[in-house]
Amino acid sequence: MDDMRDRGLTLNPKYDRDGLITAVVTDDASGDVLMVAHMNAQALQLTIDTGLAHFWSRSRQALWKKGETSGHMLQVRDLRIDCDQDAVWVKAVPAGPTCHTGARSCFFRRVGAEGLSSVDAAG
């Protein structure tokens, strides 16, 4: 265990071999999970500096400011990092649908014995 990283109060993200950490985004008001994405060092720093969520797009290999084209930005209310500093939790106020499909959350389908079913807007 890296005690300074695990218990200390110095931000020291543990990026994976691709230079990324996982980012879980929840709605600040409801607590619902909105999306899971990845951040590199630049995205994390921009999120800290601007208060708006930034991510790294693995498919486009590019920095991505959430809502830059749609207007559905994520205003960060609280940003936390887990014990070994390899994942962040972004509590945000969404300016509209979070999912690129237009759904409020990317987690709009429930998995069950019968397959997938839609989850209503209330979750």
Please report, for the chain, the start and end positions of each structural domain, with discontinuous segments joined by +: 3-97
Q: Is 99 marked as binding a ligand? A: yes
Q: What is the pLDDT of residue 2?
A: 64
Q: What is the pLDDT of residue 75?
A: 98
Q: Is 6 marked as binding a ligand? A: no
Q: What is the CATH number of domain 3-97?
A: 3.10.20.810
Distance CA 70, CA 116 (A): 27
pLDDT in tens, the chain (123 residues): 566 778 888 899 999 999 999 999 999 999 999 999 999 999 999 999 999 999 999 999 999 999 999 999 999 999 999 999 999 999 999 999 999 999 999 999 999 999 999 987 544
Q: What is the pLDDT of residue 1?
A: 57
Say if residues 42 and 48 touch (Cβ distance below 8 Å): no
**Both tokens of residue 111?**
């998995």
Question: Which amino acid does the sequence have at 73?
Answer: M
Residue reference for tokens 């649908």:
97
β-partners of residue 118 are 109
Q: Is 86 marked as binding a ligand? A: yes
Nearest one of 72, 114, 116, 109 to 94, comparing CA atoms: 72
Residue length, the chain?
A: 123
Q: What is the pLDDT of residue 5?
A: 75
Q: Which segments of the chain does DSSP mark as H helices, in order?
A: 3-7, 41-50
